[in-house]
Chains A and B, each alone.
Chain A
Amino acid sequence: MLIVRTVERWLRPILLLVSVYLLSGGHQSPGGGFVGGLVAAVPFALHALVYNAPSARRLLRTDPHFLMALGLFCAMWSGFTGVFLGAPYLTGKWVEWELPLLGHVDMGTPVIFDIGVYFAVMGVTLMIILSLAEEE
């Protein structure tokens, strides 16, 4: 058990980093919000297995419901940017910046949409897993 607990502690930041990497790189290389959200749910699910569900909830600091709502919110509202600019709902709009350190940054509403998918998937997965883990 000690081994599992130790591994879990070290795995946690790595998995979260991987999930963010998958999310942010998803538009150019394999990855994306869906798989990123799934990976992001894994450390908390592992924590719930190794310790217990309340502890995992404390670690998460927020309710999975909130993540679900946040995800849907991001995805829905990313579509309105296009509407306000006179295009149909969910039309992708992009801006490009040259920033110091980061270099060329390509930011657009589909990225926000992807972030929405990320949070929605993470929220749903965690809600199911934590609810199941709370049985008994």
Chain B
Amino acid sequence: MLVAIVSGFVLSLFAPWLTRFLGRWAGWVFSLLPLLITLYFARFIPSVFGGDTFRTTEPWIPSLGIQLSFYLDDLSLVFTLLIAGIGALILIYSGGYLKGHALLGRFYAYLLSFMASMLGLVLADHVVTLFVFWELTSFTSYLLIGFDHKREEARRAALQALLVTGVGGLALLAGLLVMGIAGGGFELSALLEKGEVLKGHPLYLVILLLVLIGAFTKSAQFPFHFWLPNAMVAPTPVSAYLHSSTMVKAGIYLLARLFPVLGGTPEWQGALVAVGCITLVTSTLLMLRRTEFKPILAYTTIGVLAFLTVLLGWGTDTALKAAAILLVAHALYKGALFLVAGAIDRGTGEKDTEQVGGLFKPMPLTAACGVLAAFSMMGLPPFLGFMAKELLYESLWEWGPHALLLKTIFLFSGMGMVLAAWVCGIRPFLGREGRTLAHPHEAPSLWVGPLVLSVEGAALAFIMSPTGAWHGFTPPLAAGVTAIAGGLGLTCVRQAVRRLLNGFAFLYRLGPESWYDMKLRLLDGFASFQTRILQSGYLRRYLIFTLATLLVSVGYYLWVRNIVYWPDVFSGASLYEAGLSAIIVSAAIFAVGTGSRFGAVTSLGVVGYGVALLFLHLGAPDIAMTQMVVDAISVILFILVLYHLPRYRLSSSHGTRVRDGLLSLGVGGLVTLLVAIATRFPLDQTLTSFFARESLPAAHGRNVVNVIIVDFRGFDTLGEITVLVIAGLGIFGMLKLRLLGRGEGDASRSEASAQEDT
């Protein structure tokens, strides 16, 4: 299982090069990997649906007890097959959809790593593994939504999706950890048996709330639904794959996975049913306003996710069965419809459902896919959609007679779905040919995917129940027929409905998306406020903040612990050391008092070389040498900077100088005191002797200092040079930006920050 997941990431690393090499066959070749994964997991079908489960574990972070463990049961198997199977088709489709795009290789890389993350998410057993893959899907989704990164709209939508799902992810992490602590284990497979313990736990409500926030943000439930329609700026294969078939179902997957652990309580039922119903009504109303393919499909996706939420909330056997079938059916038909919409967009250059028509003749295969998928979406037999819809209404009837409101909502949303299926999957192919931008035509890679998906919708239904799930004439069937009739009726009056709803347009501006924008603005405002306070751009103010913090925090601690005393620094110093110290101190005093910059730099050089001599005297030639070279380079830097400074003059007031002087004396005294305290105790020699002993035999070096730097503490050094390089790039950026920005308003500000680096 680990190989199946990791292989996607590995292939995605090489995808850009391979794409250049394979040319237009890249999509077909890449699709072999998900195909193989599908076949690999298909072998498990008989045993897993027979009740077996499989578990693999690899050590990952043993020190924290976190394992890379994966768990395969019926739920994860269904998702795995959907992800890998649809993934293969999407890869083929992308080759045709983005034919000739300069960044196609990168697109494949993103798609493959998304697929691998999604597989990891549904197979993960340890909650930390689950969370890591959860975040990876958000991240790859960000990259894919923002694929067209030159469009502001795409960047905004990508960031919005990332922030909304990211916040949810954090809540989820907290929820999962609390759940793990309360349940006494972090493996989901183990927690599945702890349902009773957790439901009675005092923290149950906290866990539930946090987990639900995670699930609702990912699956675009009210009030977090707004990111999904905006994410439609992504290329159509992405909308089909991430934002209808798989990623948005991750929240549903989580709810289904945790149903045995957290589900079935009145709180669970209330929250899920309520949120699901609100989302259903909202998404249907919002959908009715739109005329473009992708937003309509996006809002119906939200609607189906809401159906699933309600079903999981209700949680009877019929409801769970309905949820499972609806999930698969939706992944197939909605994926197909998105791909059809993309093919129409490619073929005609048209994104609006009202502008196209009569496409059956030029695009017969696409038309076939569209019609089949639409039939499944409407819930016509013999498609999987019919089975799903039957079970959906059947579980609704279990609710009893009180569920009138619920039935109304379901019927209303059902009609909306039928309307959407008609408008997106059937109408474009009927009637007279519309005036389109391009001449409509077919391309093989563009019809393979949707065709497989929509045929599968019928085939699966046949395999599962050869009679086509015919239940006879029951109330649920009547409800289904009503929904279809009502939906088709709605299509006739859709213009009038749209006009009516647009009359309430002012309401949409008050929706959750405006809360999101307001929060971002508040955050920006707060950030610039505190930046103005803390990051003034004046070097001396930074120094004052840093040093005062050091002095107050450390000094306070020492004072409270009563270890402030006058250190005995003079005893035991040799004449040589005393002489050097005198030179260093007098040079420092001269540097403070002198009126010439050059004099100050020179006397600082004296301080540096004096310290270097002290190092040499104390037996640290390495450090002495480095100190000397650093001093030499500092002089060069100073000369470069001094050249740019205006003439020296005393500009600070007397009070400022007294304040700065006191602060300097305080910090100097504090450091002296710390050194005195540190040397008062005998040094722990364990490490010293270890390094001295092991340096030659274990690390092949006689110079212990260097061996520590590059070998024993190599990881630290790697971090240090990374920071060094980042700091260097920052300085470069500031200097060069300042050159570009010269003459603009903030020139003086950046001048101040440029000085600060030196």
Interface on A for B, CB 8 Å cutoff?
Answer: 22, 26-35, 38-39, 41-42, 45-46, 49, 65, 68-69, 71-72, 75-76, 79, 89-90, 92, 94, 106, 108, 110-111, 113-114, 116-117, 120-121, 123-125, 127-129, 131-136
Contacts and interface: CB of A to CB of B under 8 A. Distances in A.
B631 to A, nearest CB: 10
Given A42-B633, A113-B710, A72 B626 contact: no
B714 interface: yes
Residue in B699, B717, B758 with the greatest tally of chain A CB atoms within 10 Å:
B717
Interface stretch (B25-33, B336-344, B728-736): B728-736
Contacts, number: 144
A134 B731 CA distance: 13
B721 A117 contact: yes
Contacts of A110: 699-701, 707, 710-711, 714
A39 B629 contact: yes
B699 A34 contact: no
Contacts of A111: 710
24 contacts: A22-B625, A26-B703, A27-B701, A28-B701, A29-B703, A30-B622, A33-B709, A38-B630, A39-B629, A42-B632, A49-B636, A71-B725, A75-B717, A76-B718, A79-B718, A92-B714, A110-B701, A113-B718, A123-B728, A124-B727, A127-B728, A135-B640, A135-B644, A135-B739
A99 to B, nearest CB: 16
B501 interface: no
B710 A114 contact: yes
A40 to B, nearest CB: 10
Contacts of A41: 633
Contacts of B703: 26-32
B711 A92 contact: yes
Contacts of A128: 637, 728, 731-732, 757
A49 B724 CA distance: 23
A20 B644 CA distance: 33
Interface string B633-666: 1001101110010000000000000000000000
B629 A42 contact: yes
A28 B710 contact: no
B558 interface: no
A134 to B, nearest CB: 8
Residue in B625, B629, B699 with the greatest tally of chain A CB atoms within 10 Å:
B629
A43 B651 CA distance: 37
Contacts of B718: 75-76, 79, 90, 113
B699 A92 contact: yes
Contact of A27 (B633, B641, B706): B706
Contacts of A116: 721
Given A90-B715, A110-B710, A124-B727, 5 more contacts: A32-B703, A49-B639, A90-B718, A123-B728, A128-B731
B722 interface: yes
Nearest to A46: B636
B705 interface: yes
B706 A45 contact: no
B621 interface: yes
A124 B725 contact: yes
A13 B234 CA distance: 56
Contacts of B721: 71-72, 75, 116-117, 120-121
A131 B732 contact: yes
Given A27-B707, A33-B710, A42-B629, A132 B758 contact: yes
B702 interface: yes
A76 B702 CA distance: 24
A32 B644 contact: no
Given A72-B722, A110-B711, A94 B700 contact: yes
Contacts of B640: 49, 129, 132-133, 135
A16 to B, nearest CB: 14
A108 to B, nearest CB: 6
B645 to A, nearest CB: 12
Contacts of B698: 92
Given A45-B636, A94-B700, A116-B721, A127 B709 contact: no
Interface in B90-113: none
Contacts of B639: 49
A132 B638 CA distance: 10
Contacts of B706: 26-27, 31-33, 114
